[in-house]
């Protein structure tokens, strides 16, 4: 037991996408997770990093003091005044309990952007460091897609990131971050950090940590992490859809009091990633070929799942593409099809029409008209639902939704964009996922984890949108140059 040790807990999590339409607001957080005081501990009941952090605190007899936690689904940069208010709520909550705590644990994402601020987490951590002074222990857990910056590394050495993609180690990451923090508070370790930025970017479909180039470097990372005196290590395959000035992957290694050693390991891992850059190329199938495979499969062995990563809400896109929907309406595949679209006006039109009504609506292109255009469809309103319809208690942040049946297609029209990394939205809508011939998953790679036990085939489809795999055709204007793949001849620089 550790009588008297207390750790303040706070969180702020959002993944930005600067190519998505519109602007994020504080309401995006209020509709997802906006908690104060003891309510924050409810977040830890889920399969996330805060759950792991709380586990370690409990196991080691350390008291936690919850303050403030806000989280939203990924999306466009947040309005400047709302960013300022979120930052104030985090800092005010922590400042209020500082006299009674021995350290601070932060549950962050790492790729939050706001108007006028490319690095929300770095800005928050630097401001917190000014408040608490140079020696007060702070640790944080981060997503693998963190936009890692020197500002973050200067604010605290205790940085722990997810080591899996698709993400399955959130709990373990929280455990690592909290264990580092408690050990530092107890004086058992003196964490020091090695940080290296890498002039490399790629779409997230090749960030896989079970196969491919990143997985090879992860093997070495785990070996380094197991060595005496090494406290933690993280590779950050930065969220690729950020037009920011400090773009690029990064590596963090934390050692016990030996900064040169930490930097040496960070440089080694960074060099290994850089040397594999030519293999970080995403190959996807054409929509026509993917639909043909779904027709041929005829639902045998489960649906063919088409990954529409370009419109992935969990990658910050807006969910309002109707391109795949139009394709299956133009050339039906011969069996049940499940699709989704985010479109609040179309949802409202369905509500006004009522259950059982046949109605004509325009869907798509309401949020990212610079990528997507509306199409007109006629169908029958089958049912309605909302956030409370989530199966098995798993949360969905759709607002209201409706199911519109158009021939063989069941279209879920949601009020808000929601994660499509698994089938929970379709099941919440009462749809037969297992009996479908084809299912649309608006997810950039991460849907593989959620659908591998359901789908007969998982196909990443070549599409365009705010989260598309073809980075070279996106309108980047602020990123540092040279950087791969924009500059094929870029040198490592370290």
Maximum CA extent, the chain: 69
Split at pLDDT 50, 70, 90, the class of 173 is very high
Let me know: does 487 contact 479? Beta carbons within 8 Å: no
Secondary structure tally for the chain: helices H, strands E: 14, 17
Instruction: Put residue 399 in one of left, alpha, beta given phi > 0 → left and psi -120 to 50 → alpha.
Output: left
Amino acid 127: pLDDT: 98
Overall CATH class of domain 6-279? alpha beta
The overall pTM is greater than 0.85: yes
**What is the pLDDT averaged over residues 201-225?**
96
Amino acid 446: pLDDT: 84
Cα–Cα dist 400/384, whole Å = 7
Q: Taking all residues of the chain, what is their mean pLDDT, rounded to a whole number?
A: 95
User: Is it the case that residue 275 has pLDDT exceeding 60?
Assistant: yes
**What is the pLDDT averaged over residues 388-394?**
65
Which sequence spans correspond to the domains of the chain? 6-279, 287-468
Residue 390 burial (CB count, 10 A): 18
Split at pLDDT 50, 70, 90, the class of 390 is low
């Amino acid at each position: 037991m550790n009588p008297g040790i207390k750790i303040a807990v706070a969180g702020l999590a959002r993944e930005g996408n600067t190519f998505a339409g519109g602007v994020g607001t504080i309401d995006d957080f209020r509709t997802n997770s906006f908690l104060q005081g003891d309510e924050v501990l409810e977040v830890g009941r889920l399969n996330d990093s805060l759950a792991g952090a709380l586990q370690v605190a409990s196991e080691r007899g350390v008291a936690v003091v919850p303050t403030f936690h806000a989280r939203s689904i990924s999306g466009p940069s947040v309005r400047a005044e709302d960013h300022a208010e979120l930052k104030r709520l985090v800092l005010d909550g922590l400042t209020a309990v500082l006299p009674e705590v021995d350290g601070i644990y932060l549950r962050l994402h790492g790729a939050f952007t706001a108007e006028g601020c490319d690095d929300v987490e770095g800005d928050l951590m630097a401001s917190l460091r000014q408040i608490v002074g140079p020696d007060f222990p702070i640790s944080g857990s981060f997503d693998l897609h963190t936009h890692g910056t020197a500002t973050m590394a200067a604010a605290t050495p205790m940085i722990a990131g997810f080591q899996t993609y698709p993400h399955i180690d959130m709990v373990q990451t929280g455990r690592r971050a909290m264990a580092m923090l408690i050990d530092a508070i107890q004086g058992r370790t003196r964490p020091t950090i090695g940080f290296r930025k890498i002039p490399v970017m790629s779409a997230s479909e090749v960030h896989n940590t079970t196969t491919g180039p990143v997985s090879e470097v992860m093997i070495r990372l785990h070996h380094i992490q197991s060595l005496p005196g090494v406290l933690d290590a993280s590779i950050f395959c930065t969220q690729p859809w950020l037009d920011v000035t400090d773009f690029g992957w990064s590596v963090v290694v934390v050692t016990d009091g030996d900064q040169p050693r930490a930097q040496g390991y960070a440089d080694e891992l960074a060099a290994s990633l850089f040397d594999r850059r030519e293999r970080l190329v995403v190959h996807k199938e054409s929509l026509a070929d993917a639909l043909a495979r779904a027709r041929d499969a005829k639902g045998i062995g489960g649906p063919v799942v088409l990954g529409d990563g370009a419109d992935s809400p969990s990658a910050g896109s807006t969910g309002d593409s109707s391109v795949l929907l139009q394709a299956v309406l133009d050339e039906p595949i011969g069996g049940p099809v499940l699709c989704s679209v985010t479109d609040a006006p179309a949802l409202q039109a369905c509500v006004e029409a009522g259950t059982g009504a046949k109605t004509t609506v325009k869907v798509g292109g309401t949020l990212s008209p610079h990528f997507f255009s509306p199409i007109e469809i006629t169908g029958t309103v089958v049912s309605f639902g909302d956030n409370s319809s989530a199966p098995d208690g798993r949360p969905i942040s759709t607002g209201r939704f409706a199911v519109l049946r158009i021939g063989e297609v069941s279209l879920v029209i949601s009020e808000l964009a929601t994660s499509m990394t698994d089938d929970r939205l379709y099941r919440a809508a009462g749809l037969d996922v297992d009996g479908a011939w084809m299912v649309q998953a608006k997810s950039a790679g991460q849907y593989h984890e959620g659908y591998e036990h359901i789908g007969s085939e998982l196909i990443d489809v070549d599409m365009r949108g705010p989260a598309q795999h073809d980075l070279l055709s996106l309108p980047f204007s602020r990123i540092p140059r040279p950087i791969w793949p924009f500059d094929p001849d870029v040198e490592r620089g370290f």
